[in-house]
Amino acid sequence: MSALSKAFSPALREIRVLLCQSSPASAGTRQFIQTAYPAIKKQNPDLPVLIREAQGTPARVFARFERGVERHVELDNLSASDVERKVADLLKSS
């Protein structure tokens, strides 16, 4: 079972995903969103998960924690499984 299909720490306040809707560098991130988003929202229905697409934007994910702490990781040119691993590591860093 994926680490992302479980409820997250209450310290996590928001997840923001930025990506390009057409670039090959964001392909793994797009696939990750299609497969992981339903499980994330099912286990964390009140957690805001924002997905922002803009032409030419590098793929990144930001996590905002309590007290305004924010961390991010770069996701360009990664496969969907690599994206999932990096996002899971980021969300554990609370």
What structural domains and CATH numbers belong to the chain? Answer: 20-92 (3.40.30.10)
Contacts for 37 with CB less than 8 Å, ≥ 6 apart = 49, 51
Q: Give me 70's structure tokens.
A: 């924010």
Residue 2 pLDDT? 67
pTM: 0.90
pLDDT band at 1; cut points 50, 70, 90 = very low
Distance between CA 17 and CA 38 in Å, rounded? Answer: 14
Residue 30 pLDDT? 98
Residue 94 pLDDT? 64
- 42-68 per-position pLDDT tens digit: 999 999 999 999 999 999 999 999 999
